[in-house]
Amino acid sequence: MRRMLLSLILLASCGQLEWTIPLGKTQVDFQRESYECERDARYAFPGGPATVGANMDMQNMYLRCMHVRGYDLVKKQ
């Protein structure tokens, strides 16, 4: 899971992607909800990602969780 988040952070830091924060939410809300989504994805795979496919499933679960909460990962303009 940490690798997945690191890859998302690296992509975002390269200027390619960024999270959109919904109106009415703060950076603190984003950090808390990101942690909660990461935790939920990690609990869904308690043994950790044993394969590349499982790692992708964890990443997709995290992204879907964030999307449901109103956040989107978009190309930086």
Evaluate if pTM is beyond 0.75: no
pLDDT mean across residues, the chain: 80
Q: Kindly list the domain boundaries of the chain, sorted by start residue.
A: 2-75
Q: Mind listing the pLDDT tens digit for each residue in 29-50?
A: 999 999 999 999 888 876 665 5
SS3 for 22?
A: coil
Q: Which residue has the tokens 């044993």?
A: 50
In order of 8, 48, 64, 76, the CA distances from 73 in angstroms are: 9, 24, 10, 9
